[in-house]
């Protein structure tokens, strides 16, 4: 099926629907699909990477490379749940362009500032493509499964037993700010990818690593007894690790929730069920307000940055997939996803004079609180969140992710990514853009770690 054509959407907009936002009946799949198509159209209008002279897989400033990786993951979910293939070519082109040169999502243009989490978001997108049987790239290009395996193998090599008894550092290279920080999102990418590779391939090397990462998070205090997932921990100059940064972000809860659901799915194991239930309970308590998803740490005082604005959309996607992998969670998760989709329909009602090129009256605001009253915060993250919200309820009656045994066709390579990792500074002279990039990294670090605490103080 192809999506609702923009002309059709435009016609309905002209019929006066705009004031209500994107009309959606959350109990009707065709209504959800139509709404999602309108929001997806607005989202892909931000993407210029496939224009002549631009770089496939990149979003224009101010959006980071990892956000683009996450956006294409959202577009794969969109295709899988709606069967609208309008954006598949652009999506495949982006993944191949960013994945092909190094075969591990470490393209030279990005490596100087690339963290384990940045690489992980692209790898999770490739993993999603494998699980959903997204059209495979030509056989002379790296395949989705092999790309995810490459990143897994590199994470294994970067696992650092010297400090904090294990864990991945946030940064890959020592010259980047945040190299002395071990954070839940980087380790969450490792955990999530390992758990999914375990489910997809049946190879226990992956599930052993998933268990090891999860238990390290618990041991070091980044996952608490009540399944709070904290932001990260600093490696002090004496090599001890203390001072857990207790900021909690919805994507950290989501990434561990979804990984745990994969581990539970493989085994039906009671320990994984307990972990899954614990994170789900904590998620419901912390990231749901007025019945809908929200970003507890920064949404109410409107201080979320571009990165943080996208987190709850990932949570929505991971919650939706959790209902497929652990069907017993459906009764608890689906009502939240439906209420969120309904509020998002109202929130996607903006016509800002700038910053949005989709159809008038369909720009998504960021907050879904206040019954989705449009808050004027538009951009890729808000639009991506809106899309994630619209498609999430479709998972209830949707297909389940495939595995090698149930029809997955992506070709793997268990040894991918095992080449030597070179210092990017030696490979390429420092360019103006890199300097700017490094500055951005410092900025994110400040906001993610110190800034988080500052909100609490002020
Ligand atoms: C880029 O992709 C978008 C979305 O698929 C499409 O509408 C547009 O025509 C593409 N542009 C080019 C130059 O191929
Ligand atoms: C790296 O940047 C160059 C110059 O903008 C561009 O031509 C190339 O496609 C980029 N490579 C990747 C993998 O993005
Ligand atoms: C694992 O996922 C499949 C596909 O959705 C589902 O049918 C099965 O019941 C799940 N296994 C468990 C233990 O819930
Ligand atoms: C399982 O995965 C590991 C890690 O990539 C690999 O070394 C091993 O050969 C794999 N085993 C099988 C049976 O494929």
| pLDDT tens sequence across 154-206 | 999 999 999 999 999 999 999 999 999 999 999 999 999 999 999 999 999 99
Nearest ligand to residue 412 Cα? 4
Determine contact, residues 442/177, Cβ cutoff 8 Å. Answer: yes
CA-wise closest residue to 396 among 335, 312, 343: 335
CA of 43 to the centre of ligand 1 (A): 12
Share of the chain above pLDDT 70, in %: 87
Give the span between the Cα atoms of 357 and 352, in whole angstroms: 9
Nearest ligand to residue 96 Cα? 2
Is the beta carbon of 100 within 6 A of some atom in ligand 1?
no
Atom of ligand 2 nearest to the CA of 56: 14
What's the DSSP call for residue 229?
Answer: B
Is the beta carbon of 303 within 6 A of some atom in ligand 1?
no
For domain 6-416+432-457, give the fold. Glycosyltransferase (1.50.10)
Atom of ligand 1 nearest to the CA of 89: 5
Band of pLDDT at residue 448, cut at 50, 70 and 90: very low
Band of pLDDT at residue 7, cut at 50, 70 and 90: very low
Atom of ligand 1 nearest to the CA of 51: 13
What's the DSSP call for residue 292?
Answer: E
Which of 5, 44, 47, 50 maximizes ligand 1 atoms within 8 Å of its Cβ, making it the mutation to test the pocket? Answer: 50
Which of 72, 94, 109, 427 maximizes ligand 2 atoms within 8 Å of its Cβ, making it the mutation to test the pocket? Answer: 109
pLDDT, mean of residues 301-322: 97
Please, how many CA atoms are within 13 Å of residue 372, restricted to the half-sphere of its CB?
28
Q: Is the peptide bond before 297 cis (omega within 30 degrees of 0)?
A: no
Query: To which residue do tokens 């690593």 refer?
Result: 209
CA of 5 to the centre of ligand 4 (A): 45
SS3 of residue 72 by DSSP? helix
Q: Which residues pair with 364 in a beta bridge?
A: 348
Determine contact, residues 177/113, Cβ cutoff 8 Å. Answer: no
Which span out of 19-28, 237-246, 311-320, 442-451 was modeled with the highest average pLDDT? 311-320
Is the beta carbon of 51 within 6 A of some atom in ligand 1?
yes
pLDDT, mean of residues 59-82: 97
H or E segment to which residue 283 belongs: helix 270-286
Residue-wise pLDDT for 411-438, tens only, equals 999 999 987 666 676 655 444 344 333 3
Give the contacts of 265 (CB within 8 A, at least 6 positions apart).
Answer: 199, 325, 326
Is the beta carbon of 265 within 6 A of some atom in ligand 3?
yes
According to the model, what pLDDT value does residue 420 have?
66
Is the beta carbon of 324 within 6 A of some atom in ligand 3?
yes
CA-wise closest residue to 102 among 93, 89, 111, 94: 111
- Let me know how many helices (H) and strands (E) the chain has, helices first: 18, 7
Name the residue with the closest Cα to ligand 4, atom 7.
414
Band of pLDDT at residue 41, cut at 50, 70 and 90: very high
Residue-wise pLDDT for 221-279, tens only, equals 999 999 999 999 999 988 889 889 999 999 999 999 999 999 999 999 999 999 999 99
Is the beta carbon of 261 within 6 A of some atom in ligand 3?
no
CA of 324 to the centre of ligand 3 (A): 7
Between 209 and 439, the more confident residue is 209
CA of 47 to the centre of ligand 1 (A): 8
Atom of ligand 2 nearest to the CA of 107: 13
According to the model, what pLDDT value does residue 20 have?
62
* pTM assigned to the model: 0.91
Name the residue with the closest Cα to ligand 2, atom 5.
55
According to the model, what pLDDT value does residue 456 have?
31
Which of 195, 265, 329, 398 maximizes ligand 3 atoms within 8 Å of its Cβ, making it the mutation to test the pocket? Answer: 265
Band of pLDDT at residue 451, cut at 50, 70 and 90: very low
CA-wise closest residue to 66 among 186, 205, 238: 186
According to the model, what pLDDT value does residue 238 have?
82
Band of pLDDT at residue 286, cut at 50, 70 and 90: very high
H or E segment to which residue 363 belongs: strand 363-364
Determine contact, residues 189/202, Cβ cutoff 8 Å. Answer: no
Is the beta carbon of 141 within 6 A of some atom in ligand 4?
no
Nearest ligand to residue 329 Cα? 3
Is the beta carbon of 44 within 6 A of some atom in ligand 1?
yes
Determine contact, residues 308/298, Cβ cutoff 8 Å. Answer: yes
What's the DSSP call for residue 392?
Answer: G
Atom of ligand 2 nearest to the CA of 100: 13
Average pLDDT, the chain: 90
Nearest ligand to residue 209 Cα? 4
Give the contacts of 360 (CB within 8 A, at least 6 positions apart).
Answer: 13, 18, 351
According to the model, what pLDDT value does residue 444 have?
41
Atom of ligand 4 nearest to the CA of 149: 5
At 132, list the tokens: 């959903």
Is the beta carbon of 203 within 6 A of some atom in ligand 4?
yes
């Amino acid at each position: 099926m192809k999506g609702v054509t923009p002309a059709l959407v435009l016609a309905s907009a002209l019929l006066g629907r705009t004031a209500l936002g994107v009309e959606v009946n959350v109990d009707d799949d065709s209504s959800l699909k139509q709404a999602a198509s309108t929001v997806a159209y607005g989202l892909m209008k931000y993407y210029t990477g496939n224009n002549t002279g631009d770089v496939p897989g990149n979003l224009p400033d101010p959006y980071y490379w990892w956000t683009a990786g996450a956006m294409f993951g959202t577009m794969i979910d969109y295709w899988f749940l709606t069967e609208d293939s309008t954006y598949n070519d652009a999506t495949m082109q982006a993944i191949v362009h960013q994945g092909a040169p190094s075969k591990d999502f470490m393209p030279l243009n990005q490596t100087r500032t690339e963290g384990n989490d940045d690489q992980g978001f692209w790898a999770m997108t490739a993993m999603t493509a494998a699980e959903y049987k997204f059209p495979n790239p030509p056989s002379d290009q790296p395949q989705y499964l092999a790309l995810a395996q490459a990143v897994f193998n590199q994470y294994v090599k970067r696992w650092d037993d010297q400090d904090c008894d294990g864990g991945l550092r946030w940064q890959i290279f020592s010259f980047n700010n945040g190299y002395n920080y071990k954070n839940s999102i980087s380790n969450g990418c490792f955990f999530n990818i390992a758990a999914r590779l375990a489910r997809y391939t049946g190879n226990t090397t992956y599930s052993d690593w998933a268990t090891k990462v999860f238990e390290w998070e618990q041991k070091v205090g980044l996952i608490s007894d009540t399944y709070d997932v904290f932001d990260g921990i600093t490696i002090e100059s004496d090599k001890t690790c203390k001072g857990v940064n207790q900021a909690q972000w919805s994507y950290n809860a989501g990434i561990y929730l979804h990984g745990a659901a994969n581990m539970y799915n493989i085994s039906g194991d009671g320990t994984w069920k307990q972990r899954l239930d614990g994170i789900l309970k904590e998620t419901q308590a912390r990231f749901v307000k007025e019945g809908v998803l929200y970003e507890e740490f920064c949404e109410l005082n409107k201080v979320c940055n571009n990165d943080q604005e996208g987190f709850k959309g990932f949570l929505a996607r991971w919650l939706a997939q959790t209902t497929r992998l652990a069907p017993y969670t459906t009764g608890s998760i689906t009502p939240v996803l439906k209420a969120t989709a309904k509020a998002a329909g109202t929130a996607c009602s903006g016509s800002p004079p700038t910053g949005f090129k989709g159809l008038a009256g369909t720009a998504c605001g960021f907050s879904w609180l206040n019954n989705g009253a449009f808050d004027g915060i538009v951009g890729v993250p808000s639009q991506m969140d809106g899309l994630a919200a619209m498609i999430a309820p479709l998972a209830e009656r949707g297909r389940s992710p495939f595995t090698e045994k149930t029809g997955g066709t992506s070709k793997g390579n268990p040894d991918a990514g095992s080449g030597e990792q070179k210092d990017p500074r030696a490979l390429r002279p420092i360019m103006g853009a890199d300097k700017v990039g490094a500055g951005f990294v410092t900025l994110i670090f400040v906001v993610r770690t110190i800034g988080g605490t500052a909100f609490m103080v002020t």
